[in-house]
Structure 1
Amino acid sequence: MSFRHSPGKVIAVMPAYNAARTLERTLADIPPGAVDEVILVDDGSKDDTVEIARRLGLTVIVHEKNKGYGGNQKTCYREALSRGADYIVMIHPDYQYDSRVIGATIEFLMLGICDVMMGSRIRTRREALAGGMPAWKYIANRMLTITENIALGQNLGDFHSGFRAYRKEVLETIPYEKNTDDFAFDTQFLAQAVYFNFKLGDIPVPVRYFDEASSINFRRCIKYGLTTLWVMGQYWLQKLGLAKFEIFGPRDAAGSASTSQA
């Protein structure tokens, strides 16, 4: 299936770290015409990710030092906006998320139905577990997602998906440069999107868990879960006027991180 995405420029961004074994498969599944450009931001990979991305004709940005998952996304979005993106989709190059749904996801943004689209890995429990999601991770996801839906007044199926798409207005409004450079960047971003009154939605996306697919370990998941709860607390403290946090403040002209372009 091919997609016509006029008007508007669609850019896919890939936060990459050691994705040499899966990058080409991820790209091959993107429907023809679904995106105008693919930007890969390499976060200090130790394998051939950069060389393969160059060979495949991607726009490649290289971090000389590892900046972390959130730090990588900051560069992704900064570069996409600088290249005139109207719609930005983030897809991990580790082949965990099914990139065939990119075109369908962007359509919801183009129609103005949503400003932010999430790929939900958990349409049913059976599908999630059959895709290889560990049972403990499924339970933790369900508990956190329910909590976040209640705290933020949403009804998303999966608050912790690594497949996301945005209208450019979202990235131009949210002060994401003030977010953490770690994995909690994603949670902060969604809380910010709700705080700034953007419309969130989701679409089912098949997911694969295998050795080459990136995934944080149990210890880091615990830290991530606790940080997620703290972000929900920050959101309500800000909403009630009991405290102020930079991540919910106005966007400013934050300095760009040092990058080099291939």
Structure 2
Amino acid sequence: MPSTLLAEPPLNPVHEIFHVDRVLKPEEITPPRKHKIIAVLPAYNAEKTLAATIADFPVGSVDEILLVDDGSKDNTVAIAREMGLTVIVHEKNTGYGGNQKTCYRYCLERGADIVVMIHPDYQYDARVIPHACGMIELGICDVILGNRVRSRAEALKCGMPWWKYVSNRGLTAFENLMLGQNLGEFHSGFRVYRRNVLETLPFERNSNDFVFDTEFLVQAVHFGFRLGDIPVPVRYFDEASQINFRRSTKYGIQTLTTVNKYWMNKLKLWKSPLFKPKG
């Protein structure tokens, strides 16, 4: 039985004296993990970048990799099966949010302690998985997001469209202010969750569209979970999946609407089902 994930980091300022070799030369350089970690990839037409995404996973960093295919028209499913991934296929496209719902239901049923969600388009660096999971295991955060926007120069140099950069910065600043957070980015396709987050949030009520991600984070704030982030390199290239300007505009409006629902619910002016506990 794996040890319980820390609810918060321990505060033990008093410790017996020990030799520094205990830190510099541990008996096991890579001690075995104590918690079950499942990585999920919500996929749609990802045949060109899937293998590259998986290749960056550090050896032994996860126990299982699940790909949920949302009605792809290419060879995503065949490649995933050839690579030995666990594969679930949606015969019809359910949408980005609908794909994630299937991912998280599977993880809860399989007893995952930590869930890593990463887009299979190689836009996010899978090498940071152990570091992000460590923040969960140490009890520092309940949700970790990959932050692509470490600086304006880097984001634009690496191909992020200027209009996407401006909207990302504007929405993130607004969400931080309205939700009392201090995240570098709210709109990341790399996320790590503690099991209790998925058990608590009524994510099945969320949209099946892209705004699912915003609704999920706003729910996490509502239910008192701790959000944090970790820097990841910016990767924008032709094969990386992106939503166009029209869809991005719709997503931005839906994000503003979701934050408004949060405050309407908080002020008890209107009860939204997004914030009603499960069951």
Aligned 1:124-203 pairs, distance under 5 A: 124-203=151-230
Deviations 1:78-136 (A, max 9, x none): 11111110000101111111111111100000001000000000011111112210011
Runs (4 or more) in structure 1 with deviation over 4 Å come to 2-5
C-alpha distance in 2, partners of 1:207/1:63?
30
TM-score, with length taken from structure 1:
0.94
Q: Which amino acid aligns with 1:33?
A: G
Distance 1:5 1:68, change over 3 A: farther
1:159-211 Cα offsets, whole Å, 9 max, x none, are: 00111000000000000000000000000000000000000000001121111
Write the distance in 2 (CA, Å) between the matches of 1:191 and 1:3: 36
- Superposition TM-score, scaled by structure 2 size: 0.88
For residue 128 of structure 2, what is the aligned residue in structure 1?
A: 101
Aligned equivalents of 2:30 and 2:249: distance in 1?
A: 40
Tell which has more relative contact order, 1 or 2 (C-alpha 8 A, sep 6+): 1
Instruction: Work out whether residues 115 and 200 of structure 1, in 8 Å CA contact, stay in contact via their aligned partners in 2.
Output: yes
String of CA shifts for 1:41-91, please: whole Å, max 9, x gaps: 000000110011001110000001000000000001111111110000101
The 1-side partners of 2:143 and 2:262 are apart by 18
3-state SS in 2 of match to 1:51: helix
Equivalent residue for 1:122? 149
Q: Which whole-Å CA distance do the structure 2 matches of 1:6 and 1:162 have between them?
A: 25
Pick the aligned partner of 1:19 from 46, 52, 57. Answer: 46
The residue that corresponds to 1:70 in the other structure is 97
Structure 1 distance, partners of 2:38, 2:255, is 28
Closer/same/farther in 2, CA of residues 109 and 219 from structure 1, 3 Å limit: same
The 3-state SS of whatever aligns with 1:221 is helix
Residues 4 and 34, structure 1, Cα contact 8 Å, conserved in 2? no
Q: What is the aligned-residue RMSD (CA, Å)? A: 1.0
Matched positions, count: 251
Asked which structure has the greater CA Rg, the reply is: 2
Distance in 2 of aligned mates of 1:185 and 1:70: 5
Structure 1 counterpart of 2:178, which letter?
A: A
